Each structure stands twice: as C-alpha cells, then as structure tokens.
C-alpha cells in the first residue's frame, strides 16, 4: 500500500462527542461567508466597535466576537475563528511582499527561535501571523523546530501502519510514528 493511497482513505465524519452534532468541514460556501460577515457586522454594531478597534483588543479577549460569529454556521468554533481571522484581520490584506520584506523575513526566520515565531515575526514586520506563515511556506522557509528532514524507511513503515490503524486521526498517527 502506497503512502498516497493511505492519504486518500475516506475521512471519518467530524463530530462533537458530547452532542453528536455533525459539523461541516472543507471549503466554505459563499452563503457561510456572508453569514459570518453579517454576524461580525452585527457584533461590531452592538458593541460600538470598528474592525480596527477590534484588533486592538488582546486576542484572548476577542472570544465573544468569535462566538457571535459562530451563530447559524454549522462549523466548529476553531474553524470559524480561523476563517474570521483570515477575513477580518487587516494585516492579512496588505498586498504582495516586497523583495526587502522577503529579505527581512529570511533574516528574522534565522534569528528568532520562539514558540510563536510567526506572530513575533508578523509583529516586527507589521503583518499578520497567518500572512507570515503563508509566505514562509511559499518560499520554502519553516521555523527551525519544524524543519522537515527526509523520512527514514522505519518512519515510513510506522506511518503506513499508523494510517492503516487510525485513518485520518492525525494526532494518533503522529503519536504512533513518534
């Protein structure tokens, strides 16, 4: 069985074990995005906020905003949160990186070795952590602690066995591979 074959196995339905609710996954529909935008506008209006003011609030204190964004959207909180950050954080929409920014990104990638590296670099560059992560991936940079090496035959065998056993439960697969 090839690795590619294992990755194409059908994914188990995503469920919330507590209430057996089935949540939608995958690409967002236009209707879902519109609902998310309407929910965000409603929250901002109810709280007399603007998007720029919202992003001045510490991330941990924005939870009521994200919870409000979840209304009438059949997706997990974490998925709505990630989509909202991508849509509404103005630092995600600053346009293309200049050559100077890419040089700075490469330099910061070599010098910064922190747990939340993308956020630290994003703060220094005036860009969002998502934008930095996406650009670093696109140009082939990864944080030092996540740099990939070629898999050994043993690791490949462990991976195949773990995927056969756990399917797309990646946490279990990761623990089994080691």
pLDDT tens digits along 105-164: 888 888 877 777 888 888 888 888 888 888 888 887 765 555 566 778 888 888 889 888
pLDDT at 56 over 50: yes
**What is the rounded average pLDDT of the residues 9-32?**
66
How many residues does this entry show for the chain? 178
* pLDDT value at residue 143: 52
**What are the b/e assignments for 109-121, b being 16+ CB within 10 Å?**
beeeeeeebbbbb
120 close to 110: Cβ distance less than 8 angstroms? no
pTM of the model: 0.58
């Amino acid at each position: 069985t090839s690795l590619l074959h294992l990755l194409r196995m059908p994914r188990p339905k995503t469920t919330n074990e507590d209430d057996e609710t089935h949540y939608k996954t995958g690409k967002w529909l236009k209707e879902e995005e519109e609902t998310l935008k309407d929910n965000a506008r409603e929250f901002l209006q109810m709280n007399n906020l603007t998007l720029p003011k919202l992003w001045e609030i510490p991330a941990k204190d924005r939870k009521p905003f994200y919870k409000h964004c979840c209304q009438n959207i059949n997706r997990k909180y974490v998925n709505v949160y990630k989509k909202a950050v991508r849509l509404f954080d103005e630092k995600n929409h600053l346009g293309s990186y200049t050559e100077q920014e890419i040089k700075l990104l490469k330099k910061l990638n070599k010098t910064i070795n922190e747990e939340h590296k993308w956020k630290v670099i994003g703060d220094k560059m005036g860009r969002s952590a998502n934008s930095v992560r996406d650009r670093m991936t696109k140009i082939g940079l990864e944080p030092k602690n996540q740099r990939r090496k070629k898999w050994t035959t043993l690791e490949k065998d462990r991976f195949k066995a773990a995927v056969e056993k756990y399917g797309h439960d990646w946490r279990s697969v990761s623990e089994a591979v080691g």
